[in-house]
Chains A and B, each alone.
Chain A
Amino acid sequence: MKRAAISSGLLGVLFVLSLVALAPPAAAAPPVTCNVTRRNVLATQGTQSGNHQGLRSTVWHAGSSSSNCARVSALSVVNGNGFVEWLWVQGWIFGEDADGVCGTTSQYSSKPYRLAFWVPTTGGSHCRKEGAIPDSDLSSFINLRLQDGNQDTVWSYYIGDPPSVGSMEVDFNRGNVRTNGERHNLNDFGFAHFKALQWMVSGNTTWFDFTDLDPAGDNDPDWNCIMVSQKNQKVDNIATSCVN
């Protein structure tokens, strides 16, 4: 009887172990080392008039890498409490399982992955995933554009020329443009490069070259705003050369 109970107990252990082994593996999740406040290196066009309604640039897209938490290159427009952003991220795309908003489940992308990300004034964060870039575009410059050309509070984003890839509806139709090089771990690679920077002023659908590249904030201890020219800006780990 005792022997029967022991051998049955072992049978039970083996049975449950086999169920556990056959169960589908839990989805991968961002490590806690990625849960750190962002570091941004930001630049803008001159006077913050609040009347910018578009930003476009030829943006460097990285090659494939598996060593980043979340490394970002973005074109943005900020208005008070809200903003719109058209970006690529390399690393973790945070989903609801990690208190993020980009889908139900977090995913890791070793290739640059495009996102539209926006916050209406006083509202929540919103995210739309637009996919990893194709292999043929790795380690290359690609034209990106973000604009509310008709000032109807709908911001469209593009790869190259129209038609748009998608749009973000918010409650502002202009703001201050920003280039954003962002990372979430001090081991992340922070390089970014924005060439042929142009902006659009509200009420006018013409694109104007940046004529006064200015720093707009930098809390990164290692990576800095570098002015190659007034319309060509990098984020690099050398001394800053962007001045007001």
Chain B
Amino acid sequence: MSKLRLRGIVSGTVFGGIVVLGAVAILGNKTDVPRAPAGVYDPRIPGVVCGGTPWTLQEATRAMPFNFLYPHHAFADAPELKQVWRCSDIDFALEYSSGVVIYQGVNTLPDPEAVWRRMAELYPEFSVGTVRGISAKLSDPSKAVGASGGVDFVEGNVRITVAGDGKIPLSALVEIAESLSAKA
């Protein structure tokens, strides 16, 4: 076979292959990309915090057997309070327009620090740090699908969780936790 003929065969084959592969690539990308539904296999109504019921701050302060802490941060401050939620007889939540939710309730964990360490061993989104001088469980929302992110700690007999919306960085959630005080 002459060199010319061989060159013709090779270039023809390559060209033909490029045409086919290009067609496959274009047609293959025409289908919609499927995604899991937002919040799948979740036993809570979307938008209803803690599966609870709407409450007022006055009702919450009357009912809960502990003193509240209030945040003072651009992402969570009094004017930004969107809704108070009654989660149960022993815990409630403050929902802010930014997407931050602060849960406060009677602590039921005999050894919170041991639980934080165990969570950090098991799941990549968790680590243990110190917030307000107390051992805290830290959750980085960028490290797990579906994670709200947040800071979880027990102060006195109250468990406090500062939860984000999955996009607010952990550093900001730590700042919010540090800003909590008894002053409304």
| Given A8-B8, A74-B43, CB of A48 within 8 Å of CB of B52 | yes
Nearest residue in A to B126 (C-beta to C-beta)? A123
**Minimum distance in angstroms from A202 CB to a CB of chain B:** 7
B12–A8 contact, CB under 8 A? yes
Closest A residue by C-beta to B32 = A32
Q: Which of A99, A100, A122, A169 lies in contact with B118, CB distance below 8 A?
A: A169
Residue-by-residue, is A65-81 near B (CB-CB < 8 Å gives 1, otherwise 0)? 00000101010101111
Contact present for B109 and A37 (CB under 8 Å): no
A119 CA / B144 CA spacing, docked (Å) = 11
Size of interface on B: residues with Cβ below 8 Å to A: 71
Q: Which residues A21-62 have CB closer than 8 A to chain B? A: 29-32, 34-38, 40, 42, 47-51
Chain A residues within 8 Å of B125, by CB: 123-124
Contact of A124 among B5, B20, B115, B144 (CB under 8 A): B144
Q: Which residue of B lies closest to A69 (CB)?
A: B37
Tally chain A residues at the interface, Cβ within 8 Å.
Answer: 79
Verify B13–A8 contact, CB threshold 8 A: yes
The answer to whether B41 touches A217 (Cβ under 8 A) is no
Contact between chains at B150 and A122 (CB < 8 Å): yes
Q: Does A195 contact B (CB under 8 A)?
A: no
- Contact, CB under 8 Å: A121 / B12: no
A16/B21 contact (C-beta < 8 A), A49-B90, A122-B139 known: yes
Q: Is the CB of A35 within 8 A of B152?
A: no
Residues of A within 8 A of B118 (CB): 153, 169
Q: Which residues of B contact A80 (CB under 8 A)?
A: 50, 87, 91, 93, 103, 105, 161
Which residues in chain B, 1-29, are within 8 Å of chain A measured between CB atoms? Answer: 4-5, 8-17, 19-21, 24
Give me 26 A-to-B residue pairs in the complex whose CB atoms sit less than 8 angstroms apart, sorted by A's number. Answer: A1-B5, A8-B16, A9-B13, A13-B17, A32-B33, A35-B35, A37-B46, A48-B52, A49-B89, A51-B90, A80-B103, A85-B43, A106-B36, A115-B41, A117-B41, A120-B123, A120-B126, A122-B152, A123-B119, A123-B126, A125-B146, A174-B108, A178-B51, A180-B43, A182-B41, A219-B46
Given A11-B9, A80-B91, list of 7 further CB < 8 A pairs? A9-B12, A13-B16, A48-B53, A49-B88, A76-B43, A121-B150, A169-B119
10 residue pairs, one from A and one from B, having the closest CB atoms: A124-B144, A12-B16, A50-B88, A8-B12, A122-B150, A12-B13, A125-B146, A94-B36, A76-B43, A9-B12
